[in-house]
Amino acid sequence: MTATVDHVALLRARVRGPVLGPADPGYDAARRVWNAAIDQRPAVLVRCADVEDVVTALDHARRSGLEVAVRGGAHNSAGHSAGDGALVIDLGDLDAVVVDPDARRVRVGGGALLSGMDAATQEHGLAVPAGEIGHTGVGGLTLGGGMGWLTRRAGLTVDHLVSAQVVLADGRVVRAAADEHPDLFWALRGGGGNCGIVTEFEFTAVPVGPLVSVGMFFCGLDDGPALLRAARDAIGRLPSTVGFQVVAVNAPPAPFVPEEVRLRPGWAVMVVGTTGAVPDPDAEQVHDLLRATLPDRLFEFCTPMPWTALQQMFDEPNGWGVHCYEKGCFLPSLTDAAVEDLAAHVARKVSPMSVVHLYTLDGAFSAVDDDATAFGGGRSPRLGLFAVGLTTDPQGLAAEREWVRGLAAAMAPHALGAGVYVNSMMGDDAGRVRATYGPNYARLAAVKAVYDPDNVFHRNVNVPPAG
């Protein structure tokens, strides 16, 4: 087909869902992604009403020679869900969540957001272990791994995936599970969308809430090294039910924060107890340990909180319209040298919105073999470091990018090789893909060759098909 073909008209004649092109009202809103630094103009966007629309849109893209971009929550920092001149297959209307509380099974549409999944499962006192921002898409998060407050207790999101409905590159719709297309099922659990479009996920859920225990212990910027060492000591003594993070962040302008501390840069230790007890004995044990070992605290805030509220705690500071650049790595531990380098570079951040997260990854995360799923980076106990530069000012992004890159370079000598969490990779991280997947790379490339030999699905953390 030529560039003069009216893709919008052709697709409107074939699909049930809305189709938008550059001349249509609503096009600019439809092409927008979470990271405002990404500004791309697709040739056409198809808001799929059902799986048949997905198959039809994919067929049109292949016949027309259009690049395919798959959009779930559009929350990826690298902007994989858009593309200049691409056909965007938008799954946003495939957002149903169906819970079977007796079997603790959850069916989730490929376009659902975490907030929708959390709300539906919490009606039954359940949760699927997932991320920490409500407007993140379930699909993209899952396909890259999925980590959050429940990772130590229950593992990654991919560890709870039971089956998936997948539209393959050739238009077939298949079920992937342990007993059906097991090679594809393995690849979906961490392979980052390389092998197909998932239109429905089936997960196991775990009992959570309705209340969880949330503790925040905040210290000043100068106390960063002492706080990091105290957190390091606490990690070795954590109960298995407790989620634990260190965050370099400006104090929120919230009522529980003393007025003189609000918006002040510093370091926070976050403790989440998930036993359902109020007060939570496991969380209280960690609170007491931190009170005894942390340097002078500017404030602490410990309270029961609904699980759904915790899951949306970071929604506003990570709202749509921010300009973002991020880097990450895995640390085997917080050595004294790593502590000093990290604290020094955090002190240089420019934007008050920018953050550094240190996820504690052990327990159930490490109970899974490295090759049991395609998840990249390995499963040994570790810390997941994420340096996220955020600003609402487009002109300020250059400074945040420079800060993030400087911090990443400083932490590289302390890291577990060059691997990184797939969901945090930017476009300039393409050279790290092979190192990230390590021994799983060759197997993932072989599965890719079976299900997507032409690399139709390449707007992702791409693993080209073997051969």
DSSP string, 147-198: -STTHHHH--GGGGEEEEEEE-TTS-EEEEETTBSHHHHHHHTTSTTSS-EE
Amino acid at position 398, single letter: A
Separation between Cα atoms, residue 172 and residue 195, nearest integer Å: 12
CATH of domain 97-207: 3.30.465.10
The domain defined by 211-429 carries CATH number 3.40.470.10: no
CATH of 8-90, one of 1.20.1090.10, 3.30.43.10, 3.40.50.300, 3.20.20.80: 3.30.43.10
DSSP string, 375-434: -TT--SSEEEEEEEEEES-GGGHHHHHHHHHHHHHHHGGGSSTT---GGG--GGGGGGHH
pLDDT of residue 3: 47
| Residue 152 CB-half CA count within 13 A | 25
What is this structure's pTM? Answer: 0.97
Contacts of 235 (CB under 8 A, 6+ apart): 244, 360, 362
Are 176 and 163 a contacting pair, CB within 8 Å? yes
Separation between Cα atoms, residue 103 and residue 124, nearest integer Å: 11
Query: How far is CA 466 from each of CA 170, 370, 443, 461, rounded to the nearest angstrom?
Result: 18, 21, 9, 15
Q: Determine which helix (DSSP H) or strand (DSSP E) holds 467, and give its type and residue range.
A: none
User: Can you give the residue ranges of every domain in the chain?
Assistant: 8-90, 97-207, 211-429
Residue 63 phi, psi (nearest 5)? -70, -30
pLDDT of residue 467: 87
| Residue located via tokens 């039809």 | 56
Peptide bond into 279 cis (omega under 30): yes
Separation between Cα atoms, residue 81 and residue 83, nearest integer Å: 7
Q: Which two tokens stand for residue 447?
A: 């599965």
Closest by alpha carbon to 300, among 392, 227, 207, 376? 227
Distance of CA 282 to the CA centre of its chain: 27
pLDDT, tens digit only, all 467 positions of the chain? 344 789 999 999 999 999 999 999 999 999 999 999 999 999 999 999 999 999 999 999 999 999 999 999 999 999 999 999 999 999 999 999 999 999 999 999 999 999 999 999 999 999 999 999 999 999 999 999 999 999 999 999 999 999 999 999 999 999 999 999 999 999 999 999 999 999 999 999 999 999 999 999 999 999 999 999 999 999 999 999 999 999 999 999 999 999 999 999 999 999 999 998 889 999 999 999 999 999 899 999 999 999 999 999 999 999 999 999 999 999 999 999 999 999 999 999 999 999 999 999 999 999 999 999 999 999 999 999 999 999 999 999 999 999 999 999 999 999 999 899 999 999 999 999 999 999 999 999 999 999 999 999 999 999 999 98
Length in residues, the chain? 467
Separation between Cα atoms, residue 172 and residue 175, nearest integer Å: 10
Are 271 and 215 a contacting pair, CB within 8 Å? yes
Are 452 and 187 a contacting pair, CB within 8 Å? no
Are 290 and 232 a contacting pair, CB within 8 Å? no
